[in-house]
Amino acid sequence: MSFLTTFKTSSIILLSTFLAAPVIAHNVEISNDVAATFHITPNHNPQAGKSTQAWFALTRRGGASIPLSECNCALKVYAVPRSQTAQPVLNPPLKAINVEKYREIPGADIVFPQPGAYELEITGTAKDNSSFSPFKLTYSVNVGR
């Protein structure tokens, strides 16, 4: 078999594998030694005036999950553009939820007041003051009609 034939066959197999793999829309951010996988329903396309769920799968360095019970976490929602002195338009309470493979992670039900751009800012400190560093993570969300 020639190099070109082998290359074409390998390329087709590789391309088929990528096309068949499921695509999951999650955003990942890192702050100090904490990473968070973020998702908002439905499929990162929330609608103004309708309840949507946002969740944050927090992990510390090394990959161990951070459940809400171990975090003094807070969520704020800001309209964009945002000035340095802007006040949040929403302060949704966080609750422990189970979603996909994640257990007891911070989640919130949010109703965006109008279409437009928003920033979700989640902050947190370790309840034991030592298991992870304080963090602040920001996610951009576009809200439709």
Count of Cβ atoms closer than 10 Å to residue 60 Cβ? 18
> Average pLDDT in the 17-40 region?
71
Strands (E), the chain: 27-31, 34-40, 51-60, 71-79, 95-99, 102-111, 116-126, 135-143
pLDDT at 52 over 60: yes
Helix (H, G, I), strand (E, B) or coil at 145: coil
Question: What is the separation, in whole angstroms, between the first and last Cα of the chain?
Answer: 56
Cβ proximity of 60 and 34 under 8 Å: yes
pLDDT for position 43: 87
Residue 143 has pLDDT above 50, yes or no: yes
Domains of the chain, residue spans: 24-143
Name beta bridge partners: 106. Answer: 96
Kindly report, residue by residue over 124-139, the tens digit of the pLDDT.
999 999 999 999 999 9
Closest Cα partner for 134 from 144, 120, 123, 122?
123
Report the share of the chain in percent with pLDDT over 90.
Answer: 76
Which phi and psi angles does 14 have, rounded to 5°?
-65, -45
Per the CATH hierarchy, to which homologous superfamily does domain 24-143 belong? Answer: Domain of unknown function DUF4426 (2.60.40.3340)
Question: What integer pLDDT is reported at residue 5 of this predicted model?
Answer: 42
Average pLDDT value for residue range 46-68: 96
